Amino acid sequence: MTAPEAQVREQILQAAARLTGEGLIERTWGNISARVSDTQFLITPSGLAYETLRPEQLVLVNIADASWEGDIKPSSEKGIHADAYRLRPEVNFVIHTHQYYASVAGIEGRALTGFIHPLLGKRVPCAAYGLPGTARLRQAVEAEETAWPDCRAFLLRSHGALCLGRDMEDAFAAARALEEVCEARVRNQLGEGRPFPVPPDLGISFRQGDSFHLTRKGRSRVYPIDGTPLPRAAALHAAIYRAGRFQYIAHETSPETLAVSVLGRRLRPYLDDLAQIAGADVLCVPAEPGRIEWAVWGRNAVLVRGMGALCAGTSESDVQAVRALVAKGCEARLYARAIPGCRPLHPADAALQRLIYQKSYKRKSDLC
């Protein structure tokens, strides 16, 4: 039996906090639902921040046709959740995550087979690619759920994972097990990697009117955005502030980001969320202000050749999300190099997702 609706609403909010706390999603990229009856389920709304989400903002959706009640728009992936409840009567909780290693492993577009994990059995299917929120993606996931009715976790090519459970704990257990399996797979393909010299610290900064506060090596100084001459790190930050309505900038030097910056090539997204949040591509340029200003135009990140990436946004939380997605996107890029035939998103798909994100979610998250 399902719990009372009020209790289910509270449980979804608990799950939202756990997903962000355990690093299975960034911001609102992912969605959560729970069955409330044989005919309806509750799901997280589209574009609203999980940290401020209220029980009454969860949307009641009909399983039969994915129609919903109320004025708040449900997640665009409501159809995928509806199909899970329709096809799997034993399922009472569904989470769609953008978890790090499952997202990376999913860019292959192939199922994981063999002995996978005691909780997952011998197969994790992989749904064919479809743009987020489209009938094509829904149909691809439905096909895998129909073909493999006993599976509890599914990879969605270039789009994360779907985990099903009898209850919240069961769904979370499947997500964690999937991440363990995928991490082992990715690490096995990439090996230890070669160490790179520690790059110069380009610092973090925030804008204040026509100037910005830059912190490097524990020391903070104020610089004018249009001032010259400026120290190199300050000049790079100033260039980015001139290029967009950014308020915060941070230097990202994770090993995977540094490794991709050393390659000296633009980063074409293999994952939907990178295309949406960072840009249809992320250019890699030398640490020269003019090149940086040009390369970050219309984007939220730029790779600095051999030095990692500079990530920008309108708040500290925005920048942290960009940093996390750039690191994951770089991991996917390195993984793709080890997998024959693994291709990035089509440029048109990447550009469309960036445009839709900016138009549809800009007012809610105001990232760009």
Active centre residues (catalytic):
77
| Sign for the pseudo-dihedral over CA of 212, 214, 219, 223 | negative
Q: Alpha-carbon distance 26 to 321, whole Å? A: 6
**Residue 116 to residue 125: CA distance in whole angstroms:** 11
- Tokens linked to 141: 């996931």
Q: How crowded is residue 133: how many other Cβ atoms within 10 Å of its Cβ?
A: 17
Question: Distance between CA atoms of 100 and 266, rounded to whole angstroms?
Answer: 21
Q: CA-to-CA distance for 180 and 172, rounded, in angstroms?
A: 12
